[in-house]
Structure 1
Amino acid sequence: MQRAQRKLEHIKYALQLGDGPADTHFADLRFIHNCLPELNPADIDLSAEILGKRLRLPFFIDAITGGTDAVTEINRKLAQVAERCGMGMAVGSQYGAVRDCVSFGSYTVVREEHPHGLVLGNLSALATPEQAQAAVAMLQADALELHLNAAQELWMAEGDKDYAGLLANMVRIREALGVPVIAKETGCGIAEAQYAELLASGFTYFDCAGAGGTNFPAIETARQGNTLSADFAAWGLPTVWTLLDGCEALPSDAFLLASGGVRSGGDIAKAFALGADAVGITGPILRKVVEEGVDAAVAYVEDLAEDLKNYMLLLGCRAPRDLRKVPLVISGATRNYLDCRGYNLQAICQSRRV
């Protein structure tokens, strides 16, 4: 009952608190306009093959919920959005379900509604290989996200505080599975050093999940009737910064899912420009589904896709990956970040992960 109540409270406070207060810093990026795009809008193709599945839109509904029967209908509606839009979907953590053998239906409904689409399982990086196998089997998942959420667990009254041996455990899980394993943050971003460490351990799939979107430490604090301090409320690498660290650390053939406060067609275009292979959009779709229904959520996603196409037309890009070659102007705190990190600002402004 305690875990089920926590899942419901996560949704309640995610909607109540909204994004932030950390800034994604997408506003620090500006594209260089192309007045000769030499492109017909009909030639723009947003489709992409991601993790072995062809998506009409290279978007994900990123990990949200599951683990209690009370959220089954929410997951059903989210999966219906994914199916109708031709996008991927990741479920929320399956840890409690595989550990306690409960509430499977709140997850399996996703595969029922999205039978041939891209579905990602989600499990704590503290899980056992056997639990990981059960999580994948539960969904017939195309890949498994292993979430890294030390900040959330720190402020969760019931949280796991011991992360010693975490990377070795992740390797054991990856070696036991027959599907890709994605190293996923949960709102604090992945820094260059950790990208490199994970790469050295054989991981090539990442979900950066930067700061600026849904704030799980703030949610956990609110669940206890408290307010997180300003410093910790803004903790983590903003989404733009963790993507830039990915540009520095990752080879072009690594898979990078950009998530964390992605809210507009411009945000999406900039995420692709910074090397993303797909983009996760979570909070706004959840809100649309809960408050207005599936049709409204589908319309929201389709509007984002049209906005993305408009950016691509003005930049002369036929496919999202082409945005990596579009010149950028980088200013503000993000330029300071690049200077502090010793990155080659001029090179990054010209191209990324190509």
Structure 2
Amino acid sequence: MSSSRLDASGARFDPGLDANPDSQRKNDHIRLALGQQQAAKRNAFDDIRFVHHSLRAVDQASVDTATSVCGAEWELPFYINAMTGGSAQAGDINAQLATAAAATGLAMATGSQHAALRRPELVPTFTTVREHDPDGFVFANVGPTVSPGQAVQAVRMLGADALQIHVNPVQEAVMAEGDRDYGAWPGRIQAIVAACPVPVVVKEVGFGLSRPTVELLASLGVGTVDVSGRGGTDFAVIENGRRADHAYWYMDSWGLSTILALLTATHPVPVPAIALLASGGVRSPLDVVKALALGARAVGVSGHFLATLTGQGVGGLIDEIHNWSSQVRALMSLLGAHTMADLKNTDMLVTGSTAEEATLLGVDLPALAHRHG
């Protein structure tokens, strides 16, 4: 281990790593994302309510929170989703997130590894995840602009169990230095899926995957998607904040909410041959359970866990993950759900703007309110 690394509670990476535009951008993202988390407010998860049935609850000891993701069995149906990497600060955060993941058995994704593919000196800011969590389930992360060979390199860099391909045209459009050539992305995704030695998840970055997009991805051979909708960290706002001219101020709140993306992907029938993950705007265990009840196999959490880590340290994050685990089990018990599958039989009310949008997109909301049989 490098002499610039300390234990899991202190800084591990030399700040000199940040003397390049890639690392500076990563630090900007961390700072601006934390600022959004501090201002977190109502989102579409609040348009969803469970119908309470007093005598349908089951014993908490009988509840099984296990789920299957990318061919692996997870004990918990939520995970630390993609955040960062590629700078000294990002490397420190990844080391601490991995420490918490290892202590709790939670799966974890890194942020985009493009910086490390371009600059070998940044590789340790990602591989620190495996150093601190050698046995956990880890997602590698690239975008559709890389070659299949680079995608495989990213997987091998981490000894990853699966690969996230992030699709982020909105972020790229607003980013001053962003890519603008989107037309080749479907073909590139298909090529990466064919070359990758591990399962591939295609993930939005907070703007939602529409049903036609999920259907297209299924036709390209993708087996799992993370719908990652609006409601959490907004990368249009972040990239606009990095621009001196703030030219794209009107892009705030672009896209589909996480709830709307789940509703359209599963109703009137689920898109065949593809599994759903959900992230974007997840603030509590109740949000986790709502997403699971709408068809997600597991739920990714980024902003809340990052804010907990920066405010309370690794120990605080470990405690929070344990609290969420207990509360997810308690909520499933109240809903009469012994397993993840049972959550799909819960009655749910959709109200507000989400109801208006879902109705326009053909979702049968009354049926969702009468699922218990």
Q: Which moved more, 1:150-159 or 1:343-352?
A: 343-352
State the secondary structure of the residue aligned to 1:164: coil
Instruction: Decide which of 95, 99, 103 is 1:80's aligned counterpart.
Output: 99
Offset, 1:254: 2.6
Question: Does residue 2 of the first structure (1) align with residue 7 of the second (2)?
Answer: no
Deviations 1:144-190 (A, max 9, x none): 11110011111111110111111011101110111111111000000
Aligned to 1:34: 53
Rounded to whole Å, the distance in 2 between the matches of 1:300 and 1:87 is 12
Rounded to whole Å, the distance in 2 between the matches of 1:236 and 1:228 is 18
Rounded to whole Å, the distance in 2 between the matches of 1:102 and 1:281 is 28
| Pairing 1:156-171 to 2, within 5 Å after superposition | 156-171=175-190
Rounded to whole Å, the distance in 2 between the matches of 1:208 and 1:123 is 16
Question: Does residue 258 of the first structure (1) align with residue 302 of the second (2)?
Answer: no
| Pairing 1:199-348 to 2, within 5 Å after superposition | 199-225=218-244, 227=246, 231-248=250-267, 250-251=270-271, 254-348=274-368
Instruction: Decide which of 195, 198, 209 is 1:179's aligned counterpart.
Output: 198
Runs of 4 or more above 6 Å deviation: 19-22
| Pairing 1:99-178 to 2, within 5 Å after superposition | 99-178=118-197
Look up the equivalent residue of 1:84 and give its one-letter code. Answer: A
Look up the equivalent residue of 1:122 and give its one-letter code. Answer: N
Contact 2:142 2:151 in 1 (8 A): yes
Contact 2:349 2:368 in 1 (8 A): no
Rounded to whole Å, the distance in 2 between the matches of 1:199 and 1:47 is 25
Rounded to whole Å, the distance in 2 between the matches of 1:311 and 1:21 is 23
Rounded to whole Å, the distance in 2 between the matches of 1:322 and 1:206 is 22
Rounded to whole Å, the distance in 1 between the matches of 2:160 and 2:181 is 28
Contact 1:183 1:203 in 2 (8 A): yes
Look up the equivalent residue of 1:135 and give its one-letter code. Answer: A
Offset, 1:47: 2.5
Q: Which moved more, 1:14-23 or 1:302-311?
A: 14-23
Change (3 A) 1:239 1:228: farther
Offset, 1:117: 1.1
Offset, 1:102: 3.3
Contact 1:22 1:211 in 2 (8 A): no
Deviations 1:120-165 (A, max 9, x none): 0000111100100100000111111111001111111111011111
Offset, 1:38: 5.3
Rounded to whole Å, the distance in 1 between the matches of 2:317 and 2:208 is 26
Offset, 1:300: 1.5
Rounded to whole Å, the distance in 2 between the matches of 1:123 and 1:13 is 21
Change (3 A) 1:135 1:149: same
Deviations 1:194-245 (A, max 9, x none): 1111112221210111000001111111122455766411101011101112
Gap runs ≥5 in structure 1: none
Change (3 A) 1:16 1:245: same
Aligned length, in residue pairs: 352
Rounded to whole Å, the distance in 2 between the matches of 1:324 and 1:295 is 34
Rounded to whole Å, the distance in 1 between the matches of 2:41 and 2:192 is 32
CA RMSD of aligned residues (A): 2.0
Rounded to whole Å, the distance in 1 between the matches of 2:38 and 2:275 is 26
Q: TM-score, normalised by structure 2?
A: 0.89
Rounded to whole Å, the distance in 1 between the matches of 2:272 and 2:64 is 20
Rounded to whole Å, the distance in 1 between the matches of 2:213 and 2:39 is 23
Gap runs ≥5 in structure 2: 1-19
Rounded to whole Å, the distance in 2 between the matches of 1:21 and 1:174 is 35
Offset, 1:56: 2.6
Q: Which moved more, 1:115-124 or 1:96-105?
A: 96-105
Deviations 1:280-328 (A, max 9, x none): 0111111121222011111122222222222211111112332111011
Rounded to whole Å, the distance in 2 between the matches of 1:301 and 1:339 is 35
Rounded to whole Å, the distance in 1 between the matches of 2:56 and 2:279 is 28
State the secondary structure of the residue aligned to 2:79: strand
Rounded to whole Å, the distance in 1 between the matches of 2:284 and 2:361 is 28
Rounded to whole Å, the distance in 2 between the matches of 1:23 and 1:168 is 37
Offset, 1:45: 1.7
Look up the equivalent residue of 2:256 and give its one-letter code. Answer: L
